[in-house]
Amino acid sequence: MRADKFQSSKGIFNDVKNGKITEIVKRFNAISSQGDPSNDMGIRESKNDILQLLIEADELGRTPMDIASQLGYNNIILYLLTKLGTPQDVIH
């Protein structure tokens, strides 16, 4: 599948579609830096924002991981997997 088949330009999708790993990393770093590390609630909010970005779906129900997989962007897939955290984190 070619990148031009993905029309969504909202959120992270445009960066994934274009294979812009640097922009994706910047987006996640910006979210991580917003949480207050001295406050458990701030850390949880930051993790929730990151999870929300990972599970966000486009008009056709595809997640950023789906699009990266379909386009063969292995570096983006691996990066997004690391942002999911441990299986324990995902469950909770």
Question: Higher pLDDT residue, 7 or 66?
Answer: 66
Per-residue pLDDT at 86:
74
The CA–CA distances, whole Å, from 58 to 27, 33, 91 equal: 18, 26, 23
Kindly report the CA angle at 87 between 32 and 45, in degrees rounded to 5?
30
pLDDT digits (tens, 9 = 90+) for 38-63: 666 666 777 788 888 888 888 888 99
pLDDT digits (tens, 9 = 90+) for 10-42: 578 889 999 999 999 998 888 877 755 566 666
Q: Is the pTM of this model over 0.85?
A: no
Per-residue pLDDT at 65:
92
